[in-house]
């Protein structure tokens, strides 16, 4: 046995046995500790035990949150992909070792809901990639910040906290959020700030943003809403009329919602309430001037003084213009004279009247045109119940069908009128409260029944034939304006003579009044009744057929006596 050869000791044998055991414990897919035995150009040679070595690129040891320099003798953890390749070396990876180690830590943090630190290092479609100490996560663009961020460059390469939203180890997917962390931090800050604020407190703030309904004011880390209705006692059409972005304003805290951290602010609450004692300053019936601030479908708002507005309802704008939009009567910014109609301090409402500043046109008409006077106007409209006549001051009067003609039905007479005709009429009644004027056209001609004198039943009258019809004749009583119709059956005593064609227009005939009712405005005539009456009179005066005189002799004598009388 050579002197150079030395029998291994018991300790050496134990070390060799332990190394043999350690070699057998190296499994593919596991993470093991190794020692850097050499550094060659861009790779590090690492001994993982059992005289097994592998090579790892130096770039796997650098990067965010990683070791900046590695040297011979350093111990590192690596991931064993394969124990031996074609070159007899182990295939190992430092990145995969880190990733495995990180996944274990990240899963624990995800289950506990804890934040993790990471670094944004690249931009990809729809978002960014984040290095979570070896594990790569996806940061959606919507989860970068509370508000959209156009440039993420200042955030790249900076270590910062993230919240894990989703993990899928089988697919190797991790989704994180920076926005959630910011919202939680902001909520904590808001809670702390809100706790130091009190309702009724007056504080300075800076106008941060302006919307259609108000302005957001920064109170030093927390925003409050200054609603447009709380900016001034007067009407504010847009918040920009009162505040501007960046302006420092003194506001009063009106309300604090500790659950939602919403704060309502007001400026007008710092000023005196103009509605105090409003009834004394604006008594009902007072006439004053104001400026139109807003026009709606139902009326117009008029500013009487800063912070005090009243409403002119559309019904109180004009005496005569009904169903007209207020914008056609007055315009915005116009100065108008109004009358106070009602004041309600509790509801903060003032009712105004515009038409009350002018004389009621119906009152003016009644004063100028008493009942019985005659007016003239244009036919404005025809309806099923009469004519509407346009009169002065834009008021209308109505002629009912029954007041168109004394003798003919109104439905027939109204067809003789058309829009635009100028007509004269008599004032029959004026109702100022109901805004109605009743007119009559037939009254201008006089009432023929009133002027007919003392006509009575049984009286014999002379008539002029106006028109011959199949059913009888239309006649007019001489020396009157009364007209009536004598039916065929009343034209003669004998049926053979009851023929309308026996008469001619313009012919004068006698008839007997069989009915005269002044109230019912009815007069009935009969030639037949006259002949019968004359026959009875003749029979009584000149004898009877029993005395030897013929009916012809009797009637002849009667007719002769009648002619002589005439």
More confident residue, 183 or 213: 213
Say yes or no: 316 and 259 in one domain. no
What confidence score (pLDDT) does residue 4 get? Answer: 44
C-alpha distances (whole Å) from 185 to each of 71, 181, 209 are: 41, 6, 22
pLDDT band at residue 428 using 50, 70 and 90 as cut-offs: very high
Distance between start and end Cα atoms, the chain = 198
Distance CA 249, CA 204 (A): 6
Say yes or no: 86 and 157 in one domain. no
pLDDT band at residue 1 using 50, 70 and 90 as cut-offs: very low
The answer, yes or no, to whether residue 21 has pLDDT greater than 50, is: no
Whether residue 348 is contained in a domain is answered as yes
Say yes or no: 350 and 377 in one domain. no
Rounded to a whole number of angstroms, the CA Rg of the chain reads 57
Choose among 458, 382, 376: nearest CA to 418.
382
Whether residue 557 is contained in a domain is answered as no
Are 396 and 389 within 8 A, CB to CB? yes
Domain end (from 394, 418, 445): 445
Say yes or no: 231 and 301 in one domain. no
CA–centroid distance for 543 within its chain:
97
Contacts 24+ apart (CB under 8 A), 518-523: 518/449, 518/450, 521/406, 521/449, 523/449, 523/452, 523/455, 523/477, 523/482, 523/484
Q: How many structural domains are present in the chain?
A: 6
Say yes or no: 220 and 259 in one domain. yes
What confidence score (pLDDT) does residue 51 get? Answer: 66
Say yes or no: 494 and 438 in one domain. no
Say yes or no: 464 and 538 in one domain. yes
Are 179 and 145 within 8 A, CB to CB? yes
pLDDT band at residue 5 using 50, 70 and 90 as cut-offs: very low
Q: What is the pLDDT of residues 207-226, one digit of tens each?
A: 999 999 999 998 877 888 99
β-partners of residue 40 are 43
pLDDT band at residue 70 using 50, 70 and 90 as cut-offs: confident
What confidence score (pLDDT) does residue 94 get? Answer: 62
DSSP character at residue 554: H
Are 538 and 558 within 8 A, CB to CB? yes
**492, exposed or middle or buried, with CB in 10 Å at 0-12, 13-18, 19+?**
middle
**24, exposed or middle or buried, with CB in 10 Å at 0-12, 13-18, 19+?**
exposed
Say yes or no: 517 and 472 in one domain. yes
Contacts of 540 (CB under 8 A, 6+ apart): none
Distance CA 566, CA 559 (A): 11
Domain containing 347 equals: 286-357
Q: What is the pLDDT of residues 121-156, one digit of tens each?
A: 999 999 999 988 778 899 999 999 988 888 888 999
Distance CA 47, CA 63 (A): 23
Choose among 183, 174, 82: nearest CA to 129.
174
The answer, yes or no, to whether residue 46 has pLDDT greater than 80, is: no
Domain end (from 242, 270, 298): 270
Whether residue 43 is contained in a domain is answered as yes
Say yes or no: 341 and 408 in one domain. no
Q: What is the pLDDT of residues 255-279, one digit of tens each?
A: 988 777 788 999 999 988 888 888 8
Whether residue 555 is contained in a domain is answered as no
What confidence score (pLDDT) does residue 41 get? Answer: 79
Whether residue 332 is contained in a domain is answered as yes
- Locate all alpha helices (DSSP H) within 343-452, ordered by sequence: 361-368, 410-413
Choose among 143, 116, 146, 144: nearest CA to 131.
116
Say yes or no: 52 and 123 in one domain. no
Distance CA 438, CA 375 (A): 11
Say yes or no: 469 and 539 in one domain. yes
The answer, yes or no, to whether residue 427 has pLDDT greater than 90, is: yes
Whether residue 411 is contained in a domain is answered as yes
Say yes or no: 89 and 128 in one domain. no
Domain end (from 315, 340, 357): 357
The answer, yes or no, to whether residue 248 has pLDDT greater than 90, is: yes
The answer, yes or no, to whether residue 390 has pLDDT greater than 80, is: yes
Whether residue 561 is contained in a domain is answered as no
State the average pLDDT over residues 331-349.
Answer: 92
Both tokens of 379, joined, read 């036919």
DSSP character at residue 234: S
What pTM does this model have?
Answer: 0.47
Whether residue 378 is contained in a domain is answered as yes
User: What CATH number has the domain bearing residue 228?
Assistant: 2.40.50.140
Choose among 497, 507, 504: nearest CA to 530.
497
């Amino acid at each position: 046995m050579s002197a150079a050869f030395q029998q291994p000791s018991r300790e050496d044998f134990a070390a060799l046995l332990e190394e043999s055991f350690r070699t057998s414990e190296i499994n593919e897919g596991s993470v093991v500790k190794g020692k850097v035995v050499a550094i060659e150009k861009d790779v590090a040679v690492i001994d993982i035990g059992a005289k097994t070595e592998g090579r790892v690129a130096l770039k796997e040891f650098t990067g965010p949150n990683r070791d900046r320099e590695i040297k011979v003798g350093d111990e590192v953890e690596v991931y064993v992909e394969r124990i031996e390749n074609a070159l007899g070396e182990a295939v190992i990876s430092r990145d995969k070792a880190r990733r495995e180690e990180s996944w274990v830590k990240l899963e624990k943090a995800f289950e506990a809901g804890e934040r993790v630190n990471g670094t944004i290092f690249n931009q990809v479609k729809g978002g960014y990639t984040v290095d979570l100490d070896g594990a790569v996560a996806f940061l959606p663009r919507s989860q970068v910040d509370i508000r959209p961020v156009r440039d993420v460059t200042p955030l790249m390469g900076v270590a910062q906290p993230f919240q894990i939203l989703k993990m899928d180890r089988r697919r190797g997917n991790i989704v994180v959020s920076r926005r959630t962390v910011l919202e939680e931090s902001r909520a904590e800050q808001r809670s702390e700030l809100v706790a130091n604020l009190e309702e009724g407190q007056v504080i300075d703030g800076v106008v941060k943003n302006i919307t259609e309904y108000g302005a957001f004011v920064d109170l030093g880390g927390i925003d409050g809403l200054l609603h447009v209705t709380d900016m001034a006692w007067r009407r504010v059409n847009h918040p920009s009329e009162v505040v501007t972005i960046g302006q420092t304003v003194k506001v009063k805290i009106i309300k604090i919602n500790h659950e939602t951290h919403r704060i309502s602010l007001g400026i007008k609450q710092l000023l005196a309430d103009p509605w105090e004692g409003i009834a004394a300053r604006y008594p009902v019936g007072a006439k004053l001037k104001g400026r139109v601030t807003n026009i709606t479908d139902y009326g117009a708002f008029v500013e009487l003084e800063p912070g005090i507005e009243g409403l002119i309802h559309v019904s109180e704008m004009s005496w005569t213009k009904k169903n007209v939009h207020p914008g056609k009567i007055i315009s915005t910014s116009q100065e108008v004279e109004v009358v106070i109609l009602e004041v309600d301090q509790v509801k903060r409402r003032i009712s105004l009247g515009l038409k009350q500043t002018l004389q009621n046109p119906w009152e003016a008409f009644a004063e100028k045109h008493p009942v019985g006077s005659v007016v003239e106007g244009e036919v404005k409209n025809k309806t099923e119940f009469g004519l509407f006549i346009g009169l002065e001051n834009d008021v209308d009067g109505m002629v009912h069908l029954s007041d168109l003609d004394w003798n003919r039905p109104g439905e027939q007479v109204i067809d003789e009128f058309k829009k635009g005709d100028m007509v004269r009429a008599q004032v029959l009644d004026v109702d100022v409260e109901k805004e109605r004027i009743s007119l009559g056209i037939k009254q201008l001609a006089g009432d023929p029944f009133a002027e007919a004198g003392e006509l009575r039943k049984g009286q014999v009258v002379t008539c002029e034939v106006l028109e011959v019809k199949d059913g009888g004749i239309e006649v007019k009583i001489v020396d009157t304006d009364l007209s009536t119709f004598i039916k065929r059956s009343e034209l003669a005593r004998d049926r053979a003579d009851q023929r309308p064609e026996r008469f001619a227009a313009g012919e004068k005939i006698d008839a007997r009044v069989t009915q005269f009712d002044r109230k019912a405005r009815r007069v009935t005539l009969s030639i037949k009744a006259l002949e019968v009456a004359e026959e009875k009179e003749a029979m009584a005066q000149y004898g009877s057929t029993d005395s030897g005189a013929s009916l012809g002799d009797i009637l002849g004598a009667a007719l002769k006596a009648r002619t002589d009388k005439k």
